[in-house]
Amino acid sequence: MLRNVFLKTLRDQRRSLLWWGIGLLALTSLTVATYPAVTDVPEGFDEFLEQLPEALARIFIGGFTDFTSPEGFLNTQLFVLVVPIMFVIFAVLGGSGAIAGEEGAGTLSLLLTSPLPRWRIVVQKFGAVAVATFTLALLLWVSLAIGAVAVDLDVSTLRLAAVSFSTALLGVAFGALALALGCITGARGTSAGAASGVAMAAYFLNALAPISDVTTPLQKLSPFYYFIGADPLTNGLNILHVSVLLGLTAVALGVALLAFERRDVRG
């Protein structure tokens, strides 16, 4: 089993993935089920959103004001805040526990006795986190597609796949950051906390930067911009934005590999 760190890590995550999947399924099902009620009084909801202060609108609904269209409903209720935050937390927990969690538990020394080089251990650990995150995204897509048919929510299945894929990319990027911080510090709490702090700052940067012309260019420094800025649910995937998220992930993984190769571990 030590020779296949990837499968071992996936096995260790199976219960966590199960419960996260159940929670995600419950969230999406209950949210989609409320859509018929929204369409019964469309003017009231849209007028309410238009009257929100700009800062609040951007923080909680991303500036979307078309609440009653299928895309506007799903964006405001799921994809602006709740779902991406869930994916970021899931991936950060996985990334911070991949190396730093083993080190804190005192099992990393046993792992390092295997014939695998350090870089391969990091890559396989990261691969397991990425696969688990994309599995969660697959469940998200399937549950939304089924729910859309059930309540006659007229939204493209391909667009649902696009936004689910984009959500997974965002989560994996922050999971890779947590992995890198864990390889640098060897402390799971520190790596998870720091990665979560960066994610929170990135979210507010993306949400609030457009309020002022001076700060608007700063929005493109946030990974959340590349996740939702092109509105993949309405327009499909933006290749440039996908490339940026993949690039950020690759940089973080490279830092993790370099740090783990050079650092003495505690256990």
**Per-residue pLDDT reduced to its tens digit, 161-187:** 999 999 999 999 999 999 999 999 999
- pLDDT category, 111, cuts 50, 70, 90? confident
On the CB side of 194, how many CA atoms lie within 13 Å of its CA? 18
Task: State the DSSP code for 219.
Answer: G
φ, ψ of residue 92 to 5 degrees: the values are -65, -40
Q: Enumerate helices (H) and strands (E) in the chain, giving the number of each.
A: 15, 0
Across 36-45, 46-55, 151-160, which has the greatest mean pLDDT? 151-160
Question: Taking residues 59-72, what's their average pLDDT?
Answer: 74
- pLDDT category, 84, cuts 50, 70, 90? very high
* 38 or 151, which is more confident: 151
Name the nearest CA neighbour of 228 among 79, 65, 32.
79
- pLDDT category, 1, cuts 50, 70, 90? very low
Q: Would you state the pLDDT for residue 159?
A: 97
pLDDT at residue 54 greater than cutoff 70: no
Average pLDDT, the chain: 90
pLDDT at residue 44 greater than cutoff 70: no
Burial class of residue 116 in the structure, from the number of CB atoms within 10 Å of its CB (0-12 exposed, 13-18 middle, 19+ buried): middle
Residue 181 in contact with residue 194, Cβ under 8 Å? yes
Q: Would you state the pLDDT for residue 61?
A: 64
CB atoms within 10 A of CB 248: 19
Residue 175 in contact with residue 91, Cβ under 8 Å? yes
In the three-class reduction of DSSP (H, G, I as helix; E, B as strand; rest coil), residue 156 is classed as: coil
* 107 or 243, which is more confident: 243
Instruction: Give the angle subtended at the CA of 177 by the CAs of 176 and 179, to the nearest 5°.
Output: 60
Task: State the DSSP code for 125.
Answer: H
Question: Taking residues 25-36, what's their average pLDDT?
Answer: 94
For 233-250, write each residue's pLDDT tens digit. Answer: 999 999 999 999 999 999
Question: Taking residues 24-49, what's their average pLDDT?
Answer: 79
**Residue that is written with structure tokens 């959500």 in the block:** 167
**How many angstroms separate the first and last alpha carbons of the chain?**
19
Q: Which residues contact 119 (CB under 8 A, 6 or more apart)?
A: 257, 260, 261
Q: Would you state the pLDDT for residue 63?
A: 65
pLDDT at residue 53 greater than cutoff 60: yes
pLDDT at residue 56 greater than cutoff 80: no
